[in-house]
A = this chain, B = another copy of it.
Amino acid sequence: MPSMPKNSPAPTHPGNDEESTFLTTYDRERYPKPLVMVDLVIFALIEDALQVLLIQRGEHPFKGRWALPGGALRLNQDRSLEDAARRELQEETSVTSPYLEQLATYGGPDRDPRDWSVTVAYFALIPRDQVTLEAGTDAQDARWEPVTGTGVEPDLAFDHARILADGVNRLRAKLTYTAIGVHLLPEAFTLSELQHTFELILQEKLDKSSFRQRVRQSGFFRPLAGRMRKGSNRPAQLYAFDGRRDEAHLFFPRSPVRKRD
């Protein structure tokens, strides 16, 4: 390793000699380390209900119990936490480009019986037309489960019930001030479908004309010229979401569901 002249300006990181020495002699096992996982709260609209993807654990601990999909970090493969989340998501759903957002990180000595553990939870929204795994099929180890309240019927492994509740609450909260709901719909959708999605998740009726006005004013939705949804009624204009994925912010001037008291 070449030595550096004494009074050259201190290089910015990486790389003065002293630090190089430190790094080559650094003991990676100096501190005990926790187990680090990435878990996913994956939402989709299936059969007119908000559902979440669960997997049945095939290994200990909590063997046989339902859990959120996830797994340990792969240090030689993952370039970031989001990378790891995307990898897990793809393995579970084959969806390549969903809406993905970091939810929160949970850690403690008892949440996993094996070890002090940390899990970084993400939440993802899958467009309705990209859901491949059908609810109610005989897949043994994965299924979609409807969300009721802020949870699901089966008793989840680890602290996954808590994580799921946080995910549901985050989804509902963001829906009141962002356009995040579009990521549950296909590329082209009608405003009625969009409103229905909001109503389904928020469990609340919204006023049609207010909803439409705010969608218009947001500037994030583009009518698809000439493309209409047909039925035994007046045809509906199809729209596409025009914003960036994470730009759902800035949305409604007032919340679309604000109530008087």
A: which residues have CB within 8 A of B?
12-14, 18-19, 22-23, 26, 28, 31-36, 60-63, 65, 72-73, 75-76, 79-81, 102, 104-109, 113-116, 118, 120, 155, 157, 173, 177, 249, 253-254, 258
The interface residues of chain B lying within 8 Å CB-to-CB of A34 are: 33, 36, 73, 75
**Which residues of chain B have C-beta atoms less than 8 A from A258's C-beta?**
253
Q: Which residue of B lies closest to A64 (CB)?
A: B10
A-B interface, 6 closest residue pairs, ranked by CB to CB distance from nearest? A22-B60, A33-B33, A81-B107, A105-B105, A75-B116, A80-B108
In the complex, A37→B23 CA distance in Å? 18
Knowing that A13-B113, A23-B61 are A-B contacts, what are 20 other residue pairs whose CB atoms are under 8 Å apart, sorted by A's residue number?
A: A13-B62, A13-B65, A13-B157, A14-B113, A19-B60, A19-B113, A26-B114, A28-B115, A32-B76, A33-B34, A33-B35, A73-B118, A75-B109, A80-B108, A102-B104, A102-B105, A118-B118, A173-B249, A177-B177, A254-B254
A60-B23, A105-B81, A113-B23 known; A75-B118 Cβ under 8 A: no
A173 to B, closest residue via Cβ? B249
Query: What separation, in Å, do the CA atoms of A14 and B61 have in the docked complex?
Result: 9
